[in-house]
Amino acid sequence: MSEIGDQMELREADIRAHYDRALALLNRVDHAPRLAKATASDTREERSAGIGTRRAFRSTTPGLVTRRTAVSDGVDLRSRIATVADGDLVTPVQAHVTQSLRRGIAIAMAVADQIADRTGLVALKRASLDGTLSDDRRAGFVPLIEAEALVTLFVFASATGFLLADQAGTETVDLSVVEEVLTDNAPLALNGALWELDQDIAAHAANDGTLVATVIAFCDALAEKVAARGASAPGLEAFNQATWNIAADDFTVRGFAAPHARKSTVLTMSFKTPEEVVGNHIAKAQALRLSKMLMAYDFDRRLNPFADLGGFIFTFMGDGKPGTGKTTLIQMMAGLIAGYCDNAGYPFRYQNLSTDNIDSYQGKSGQNAKAFITNIVDPAVIGFGTIDDIDQLAGKRGDRQSSAGQLEITAVLMESFAGANTVVRGNCTFGMFSNYPENVDDALRQRAGARFLVDGPQSREDYIDILSLLMGKNHDIPLGEHDAFAAQAIKKAVAASYASHARPHEEGLMRVFERVQAQYGDLDTLAKLGTYLKAIQQADDRFTGRAIKNITDAVKVRAMDFELPDEWMDNPDLFLRRDYDTKSGMIRELRKPITTDMVLQEINRYADSEFRYADKSDEVAIDNAVREMQRMEEARRRYAAGRGA
């Protein structure tokens, strides 16, 4: 085992030393289930005496094969896989599944050996076998045995699922729960897992595609369940604090963290260029800047200089009326990041959390949301996650119309975006989009560090530009007296947009601003700006300390109000492939000083959005209350009329 940075290389020889034991488990597992019930009827072929156990093909010679019913506690997983589909030969996919399972088991055993050696479990096992284990040492022996079982199960599931990722097709299998998870010891734990996998393959795998889907679904469910147990189990410090790399597979074990996918998601969306986004100047400028910020991420340091220096946008919310360009903005940003990553040779992953992820099964919606977060925050990729129509997806706490699944998603997003365990490395960003942000839970909405007001075309020039763009070129209508897309010049448009926020836009906030300004004069010191913030809080008690943090983060973003030069993206050697310290120094040189104008503009921008949301939310609540009163009044009238009759 050799050191590689903060990782330890798990030697190939240590893994292959377990191949024979792993293959023996695939050939035969004797297990009496404790928690799960057997459901598979076994009609697998049993070879006559003298025929080798290595299955290269399925014989059709009369008399050589007989049918049997397996004993209730014994499974032959290798044969189960080989008999998934009709045919005389074992298919390449079936062989790959078998090999992945063998290697996954072997990797798990090798990592478990390392854990046992680090924790002193090897010596405790020896003393237990010799009968020399004292009572005081026995108290620590049981937790370590259980910890070894959890490590073995998790690494087996993670490694096997990882090795099969490139075989996954369009087929899906729903395995929401794994039952036979035993932690008495590592061998029993593996026996139980392989026994249940055999049951699931028998129930769900009808061909090569569903075979792969079944095994991957089982591994995902098993890894998730074991990781949940491992979060509170004792004796796992050595596992959580160490990292192992398996170079031959490009697979990394990093505690109970999910491994990065072997292949990044292939984007099939229709990308948009910045010129095709009309209006939305600040939102477009911030999306352009954020796309380039992501590319500064250092894969060796696993940190982005922008996240270290301040000014990185981890979460943002884009809100606006229907048809103002939210989807177009997503398409533009995803296209830019995908292009930059392709040029730099970086893995890119995009995923959208949609209403399809709301599930009627208790806990499943939360699991879907957690899987979405895990895929995007993977430190081995550049990630962009979007949550479109978040007002429909995430429930508002206290709202009787919110389903249990929606509330589960809300809880996961709140914990993931600003929870105790949230780590912002700067390799990914999440965008929440909504036509009705007032319907989003207040606490979740405030976890959006930046606000993108997607207000669509505004000026006469914007409307001419969007008409010209959508008409296309299949016509002979003259453009007329108009400089096409001149109004979309980012720097000029953004400067005007920021300057407009020197004063608030919302009526309620304007009253607060004018009152404070009349009393204290120009808001040109931290004391006066802090007084303005307190006055805002007195007008809206939802304006808490988190709002101040979001504002200061936005100010730091303004200090980074520059675009990394296009040539840095086009030629990765100029910036992207430099070491972390060099990239950090290059960014520092471009950083702008913070001014009171910046701070005031960002206070007004953020507070405007909160007042806008609050006003709409209050109006919706009042309308609902009025409708409820009208219903009750009508109900009383009908009730009285019925009694009178």
- Looking at residue 319, what is its pLDDT? 78
Residues 604 and 504 reside in one and the same domain? yes
Amino acid, res. 624: N
Q: Is residue 628 part of a domain?
A: no
Residues 329 and 183 reside in one and the same domain? no
Q: Is residue 259 part of a domain?
A: no
Q: What angle do CA 191, 193, 198 make, to 5 degrees?
A: 95
Query: Do 55 and 217 contact (CB within 8 A), yes or no?
Result: no
Residues 297 and 442 reside in one and the same domain? yes
Residues 173 and 216 reside in one and the same domain? yes
Tokens of 303: 């940190």
Q: In angstroms, what CA-CA distances link 457 with 204, 281, 389, 460?
A: 52, 9, 21, 8
Q: Is residue 595 part of a domain?
A: yes
Residues 368 and 304 reside in one and the same domain? yes
- Looking at residue 170, what is its pLDDT? 63
- Looking at residue 324, what is its pLDDT? 67
Q: Is residue 546 part of a domain?
A: yes
- Which CATH number does the domain housing residue 499 bear? 3.40.50.300
Residues 230 and 290 reside in one and the same domain? no
Tokens of 571: 């030629």
Q: Is residue 644 part of a domain?
A: no
Burial-class residue 639 by CB neighbours within 10 Å (0-12, 13-18, 19+): exposed
Q: Is residue 482 part of a domain?
A: yes
Residues 183 and 322 reside in one and the same domain? no
Residues 481 and 547 reside in one and the same domain? yes
Residues 313 and 412 reside in one and the same domain? yes
Tokens of 193: 């897992």
- Looking at residue 532, what is its pLDDT? 92
| Structural domains in the chain (count) | 2
Q: Which residues sit opposite 317 in a β-bridge?
A: 432, 451
Residue finishing a domain among 196, 221, 254: 254
Instruction: Provide the total of helices (H) and of strands (E) in the chain, helices listed first.
Output: 24, 13
Tokens of 91: 């298919």
**To which H or E segment does residue 4 belong?**
strand 2-4
Give the contacts of 551 (CB within 8 A, at least 6 positions apart). Answer: 599, 602, 603, 606
Residues 169 and 249 reside in one and the same domain? yes
Residues 242 and 290 reside in one and the same domain? no
The two beta strands, 74-75 and 29-30, are: antiparallel
- Looking at residue 273, what is its pLDDT? 63
- DSSP result, 159-220: HHHHHTGGG--S-------------S-HHHHHHHHHHHHHHHHHHH-SSHHHHHHHHHHHHH
Q: Is residue 268 part of a domain?
A: no
DSSP state of 639: H
- Looking at residue 594, what is its pLDDT? 85
Max intra-chain CA distance, the chain = 102
Which structural domain, as residue segments, surrounds residue 30? 2-254
Q: Is residue 643 part of a domain?
A: no
Name the stretches of the chain with pLDDT < 50: 1-6, 43-72, 262-268
Residues 435 and 385 reside in one and the same domain? yes
